[in-house]
Structure 1
Amino acid sequence: MQLETNRLKIVSFQAELFMPLYQLFCENETVMKSAFKGRMLSKKEFLDVLSNNFILNDEDQIGFVCVLDKTTENFIGFTGLIPCNFLGNEDDLEFGFVLHQDYWGKGFATEIGKFWIDFAENELQLDRILAAASPDNHASINAIKKLGLTEVKEIPTKDRGSRLVFSKEF
């Protein structure tokens, strides 16, 4: 998978992205405390996520992908569409984003969210798209609301702690 926004490349996992991903997941407490599982991952957990959840080819559309700066090719973080059952529908997909803190506050989360909303509606022809965030992650919540998603409810999750669930109907 290789897709683009105005400023970003969204690409399937490539070997040269292993270390930046590893550093984000396993060494970056600042980012990971408010994202994903709410903590840094062990190497084994990271390898499990990489092999089970990342898109490793150009055909798949569901899973995590890497985000690169289109101009510099620098690694920014990861994003993706993943299946979720937050609202009782097994066909629902959640979009999310985890960005290195050097790229916070620059509008990248909103740009990524707009991309996934358009992709879900026009490419996948879904009826709705969901997003979820930790109740403490105000920056993500603000980005999600700016994208026009409506808060539906707060739910407990097994691996990610409490999450606010947002929905946008098409």
Structure 2
Amino acid sequence: MQLETNRLQIVSFEAELFMPLYQLFCKNETVMQSAFKGRTLTKKEFLDILANDFILNDTDSIGFVCVLDKTTDDFVGFTGLIPCDFLGDKNDLEFGFVLHQEYWGKGFATEIGQFWIDFAKNELQRPRILAAASPKNHASINAIKKLGLTEVKEIASDDRGTRLVFLKEF
């Protein structure tokens, strides 16, 4: 998968992205405190996510992908569409983003979110899209609300802790 927004490239996992991803997942406490399990992951947890949840080819569209700065090719973070059943529908997709803190506050989360909204609606012909965020992650919640999603419920997950679930119908 190789897609883009105005400022970003959205690409499938490639070997040269292993270390930046590993550093983000397993060493960056600042970022990971509001993502996944609310902590850095072990190497095994990271390798499981890489093997099972990342897109490793150019044909799939469901899964995690890497985000690069279009002008510098620098690693920004990762994003993706993943299946979820927060609202009882196994056909639902959730979009999400985890960005290195150097890229916070620059509008990248909103840009990525709008990309996935358009992609789900226009390319995948989905009737709606979901997003979820930790109740403590005010920046992500603000970005999600700015994109026109509405908070619909709070859930508790063994894997991810408490999450607010947001919905946008097309």
Length-normalised TM-score, structure 2: 1.00
In 2, Cα distance between the equivalents of 1:111 and 1:127?
20
The one-letter code of the counterpart of 2:68 is L
**What is the CA-CA distance between 1:166 and the residue it aligns to?**
0.1
Number of aligned residue pairs: 170
1:165 corresponds to which residue? Answer: 165
CA deviations over 1:6-45 (Å, ceiling 9, x no partner): 0000000000000000000000000000112211000000
CA deviations over 1:54-94 (Å, ceiling 9, x no partner): 00000000000000000000000000000000000000000
Point out 4+ residue stretches in structure 1 off by more than 4 angstroms.
Answer: none
1:85 corresponds to which residue? Answer: 85
2:76 corresponds to which residue? Answer: 76
Say whether 1:24 aligns with 2:24: yes
Identify unmatched segments of 5+ residues in structure 2: none
The one-letter code of the counterpart of 1:58 is D
Say whether 1:9 aligns with 2:20: no
1:115 corresponds to which residue? Answer: 115
Superposition RMSD on alpha carbons, in Å?
0.3
CA deviations over 1:92-125 (Å, ceiling 9, x no partner): 0000000000000000000000000000000000
1:42 corresponds to which residue? Answer: 42
In 2, Cα distance between the equivalents of 1:37 and 1:15?
25
Length-normalised TM-score, structure 1: 1.00
Identify unmatched segments of 5+ residues in structure 1: none
| Identity between Structure 1 and Structure 2 (%) | 83
**What is the CA-CA distance between 1:148 and the residue it aligns to?**
0.2
Secondary structure class of the residue paired with 2:60: coil
**What is the CA-CA distance between 1:127 and the residue it aligns to?**
0.6
